[in-house]
Structure 1
């Protein structure tokens, strides 16, 4: 007997990706229930070759549900995740609501799968920030090999990280440029079409943005609290796919060739690194793919034991939907949960 899975936020970008990925990977689910707010009730969503009707999160009974994949935003998660968890349903939450809670494991399966066992404390597991997920997938095998001391990362984050509204705004503004219509900013603080915005999330007292703080805090929680991390997060006019320019300083010597070999064998990583025109990955090519791609691997001569790498991944998949489902697969494959109906 398979599991009963609920998707909270099923009508959003990430919720739809979760439905697609569940079907693609053949997750052992007998029942999949799409959930959203009352205004979306009755809306159709696709699950494999099936069409499912959206139900209301507010009135759904989670008593016999095994896992809730939640991508409905932080405020919804704070309100509903503890209530759902109290029903014995494991919540895997994509928002930032519980990432920094010491009693909630923050998981990227290729990086710290063993920590998932801590879910029993609150019955909640946190999915990391989209830009952090791909970063730590690339950093983990290098850290194991040569011990990372410091990371400097600049992100180039697609508008899908800001949801459907962000994608719509890029489309509308791009069209307006070509037809000479007025350009309106609604989702972003400045024009995003043919532009870059060095501002994601709110500003903090030290001048960093919350997005930059997330990358620092989450990398330390999942990988190693001793690593020094600094980040500049930038929104770019790309629909899907986050990119990162990463400078890494190690305690021990490591060459670019050694790093390339290590990353080729690392779970979740795919090296595309030819020193020729087009011998690297771009966000456009990563869209719809599961891997974290690493290119432009080279030594940094300005520091001892330094490397530069370019990291690209589909933020809706590895950065969100895929990672959440991989967490669910860890729970199932390690026998940490059983279907409630079967147990009954």
Structure 2
């Protein structure tokens, strides 16, 4: 399905929820809508589905203007944060409902196939109320897949599940989407989820589309500070810097050998961006060191997040492995200048690290 949004604006009373949004989804691929709560993700998806009409702009599907066409006249499948199933029907009948509406044959075989793909085949004769939250969401996903719609919209479908279930379903969804023919739109607040799903990512903030492109490209080359903030978890470390003949002068006087154009003006201000994963406890040749005091050492899974007070401000380092650091103890963080992002005074990207695997 070719879905094109042309100048989409959504107003609710005096408030503007979506600002002049243009986007052409890549057919047959996954597009992730990434942004914080109230970034405009759900508003945009409701317009894509036909649940709402834009205040301005047009929605085109395969070249046909469908603006204002109600959802019942469109072939769209949607999965919400709150898993929605028919409580009086068994799991099997829930999944079969769109198949029966289309008058398909071999419904039972298709239901079992989908149930097996989502690991709920043992629950086919149960009712939704007899299932856990994760199992109910799998039923909702199976029913959406059974619909076979050319457009599938998923509005933060895993947000209400516990951590383990989210991890399991993320991996399964990645495989399901890869083998499907639908154009998929998936809304999330989590950068890690966007990276796992791959495909394309549209970064939204306060109802504006900031950047849209292949997920890896948007992650490695965010066009602005706003995109970098939205596509970093934990948040990107941001440090004010001044231009020098040799690169950038950081707070405290440290010189960072980063080549940025500044027209020979020594007073040009930049913002240095460092992902938490770019900071290390062990030095490597060519590294720049930053001294600090440990404010917090948080162990999460197989990583340790070290919060340190430094002359550059508070820095967060994501260190692989489990490390026990005493609060208030001295710590030296090391970074490779080649891993630095540099943003100009207006927030636009000036310099990004070389992409992995690219010259």
Given the two structures, how large is their TM-score scaled by the length of structure 2? Answer: 0.20
**Larger helix share, 1 or 2:** 1
Higher relative contact order (CA 8 A, sep 6+): 1
For the pair shown, the structure with the greater C-alpha radius of gyration is 2
**Larger strand share, 1 or 2:** 2
Given the two structures, how large is their TM-score scaled by the length of structure 1? Answer: 0.21
